[in-house]
């Protein structure tokens, strides 16, 4: 797959900064979607979004990203466990900050690799 240019990209934010979708169309017109959910509600919404995208795009949709059980049921092979991004409360975030930062770098690398 070739890298998408600016004209092929659309960023859509979910209900929090933990949820994001980046869409790009390849030369074969198969839609390529990188999707990230960092908690359960994002996983539920992401799974529903994936299923609807597959229903609406007859050329097919290729998904990559980070998600939980619901997104896996919809066909996502998560690049790492979604739970690595999940933290509730200030002290929990501080305790997980090294993991969150490492996973953020890994996510950026995966987006750029496509």
* pLDDT at residue 28 in the model: 52
Cα 10 to Cα 4: distance, rounded to the nearest angstrom: 10
Q: Is residue 62 part of a domain?
A: yes
Q: Which two tokens stand for residue 47?
A: 């799974």
Range of the domain at 86: 6-113
* pLDDT at residue 30 in the model: 82
Q: Is residue 76 part of a domain?
A: yes
The number of beta carbons lying within 10 Å of the beta carbon of residue 11 is: 8
pLDDT < 70 regions, the chain: 1-29
* pLDDT at residue 111 in the model: 94
- Residues making up the chain, counted from first to last: 114
Q: Is residue 61 part of a domain?
A: yes
When divided into structural domains, the chain yields a total of 1
* pLDDT at residue 79 in the model: 97
pTM of the model: 0.71
Q: Is residue 1 part of a domain?
A: no
How far from 82 is each of 11, 24, 56, 71, CA to CA, in Å? 20, 23, 26, 10
* pLDDT at residue 2 in the model: 45
């Amino acid at each position: 797959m070739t890298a998408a240019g600016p004209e092929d990209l659309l960023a859509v934010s979910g209900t929090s900064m933990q949820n994001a979708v980046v869409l790009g169309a390849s030369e074969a017109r198969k839609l390529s979607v990188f999707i990230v959910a960092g908690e359960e509600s994002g996983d539920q919404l992401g799974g529903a979004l994936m299923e609807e995208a597959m229903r609406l795009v007859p050329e097919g949709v290729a998904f990559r990203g980070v998600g939980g059980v619901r997104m896996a049921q919809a066909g996502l092979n998560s690049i790492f466990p979604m739970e690595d991004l999940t933290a509730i409360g200030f002290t929990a975030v501080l305790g997980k900050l090294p993991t969150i930062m490492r996973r953020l770098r890994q996510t950026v690398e995966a987006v750029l690799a496509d």
